[in-house]
Structure 1
Amino acid sequence: MDNELAGKVAIVTGGASGIGRATVERFVSEGAKVVIADVDRDRGEDLAATLGVDVSFQSTDVAQPTEVSALVAVTVEKFGGLHIMVNNAGVSGTMHRRFLDDDLADFDRVMAVNVLGVMAGTRDAARHMVASGGGSIINVTSIGGIQAGGGVMTYRASKAAVIQFTKSAAIELAQYDIRVNAVAPGNVPTPLLASSAAKLGADAIERFTATIRETMRADRPLKREGTPDDVAEAILYFAGERSRYVTGTVLPVDGGIVAGKPIRRRSDARENK
Structure 2
Amino acid sequence: MELTGKVAVVTGAAVGIGRALARRLGAEGCAVVVADVDAENGARTAELIGPTAVFVPVDVRSDGDLSAMVAAAVDRFGGLHVLINNAGGGGHIGPHFPDAPAAVWAAKLELNLTSAMRATQLALAPMRTSGGGAVVNVASVAGVDAEAHRSPEYAAAKAGLIRFTTAAGTWPGARVNGVVPGWIATERAAAELAAMTPAARAAAPIPVPMDEVADVVVELVRDDAAAGRIVVLPDRARG
TM-score normalised by the chain length of structure 2: 0.87
2:208 is aligned with what amino acid? G
- Structure 1 pair 11/98, CA: closer, same or farther in 2 (3 Å)? closer
* Number of residue pairs aligned between Structure 1 and Structure 2: 236
For the residues of structure 2 that align with 1:166 and 1:192, how far apart are their CA atoms? 27
Q: Over alpha carbons, which structure has the higher Rg?
A: 1
Deviation track 1:67-116 (CA, whole Å, cap 9, x = no partner) reads 10110011110000100000000022355699665555631221111112
Tell me how far 1:130 sits from its aligned partner: 2.4
For the residues of structure 2 that align with 1:96 and 1:103, how far apart are their CA atoms? 11
Match of residue 174 from structure 2 = 178
For the residues of structure 1 that align with 2:86 and 2:111, how far apart are their CA atoms? 10
For the residues of structure 2 that align with 1:141 and 1:36, how far apart are their CA atoms? 19
- Structure 1 pair 59/4, CA: closer, same or farther in 2 (3 Å)? same
For the residues of structure 1 that align with 2:68 and 2:95, how far apart are their CA atoms? 40
- Structure 1 pair 96/78, CA: closer, same or farther in 2 (3 Å)? closer
- Structure 1 pair 112/192, CA: closer, same or farther in 2 (3 Å)? farther
Structure 1 stretches lacking a partner, 5+ long: 195-201, 218-223, 269-273
For the residues of structure 2 that align with 1:126 and 1:138, how far apart are their CA atoms? 13
Tell me how far 1:50 sits from its aligned partner: 2.7
- Structure 1 pair 43/147, CA: closer, same or farther in 2 (3 Å)? same
Contact 1:93 1:106 in 2 (8 A): no
Match of residue 228 from structure 1 = 210
- Counterparts of 1:1-273 in structure 2, within 5 Å, are 5-94=3-92, 101=99, 106-150=104-148, 151-171=150-170, 173=171, 176-190=172-186, 206-207=195-196, 211=200, 217=205, 225-240=207-222, 243-255=223-235
Deviation track 1:14-44 (CA, whole Å, cap 9, x = no partner) reads 0111111111111111111101000000001
Deviation track 1:212-248 (CA, whole Å, cap 9, x = no partner) reads x76652xxxxxx64222211111111122xx111100
1:239 is aligned with what amino acid? V
SS in 2 for 1:139: strand
2:134 is aligned with what amino acid? S
Structure 2 stretches lacking a partner, 5+ long: none
* Root mean square deviation of aligned Cα: 3.0
SS in 1 for 2:136: strand
Tell me how far 1:192 sits from its aligned partner: 6.8
Tell me how far 1:4 sits from its aligned partner: 5.0
- Structure 1 pair 123/99, CA: closer, same or farther in 2 (3 Å)? closer
2:185 is aligned with what amino acid? P
Contact 1:36 1:57 in 2 (8 A): yes
2:163 is aligned with what amino acid? Q
TM-score normalised by the chain length of structure 1: 0.77
Contact 1:92 1:193 in 2 (8 A): no
For the residues of structure 2 that align with 1:105 and 1:77, how far apart are their CA atoms? 35
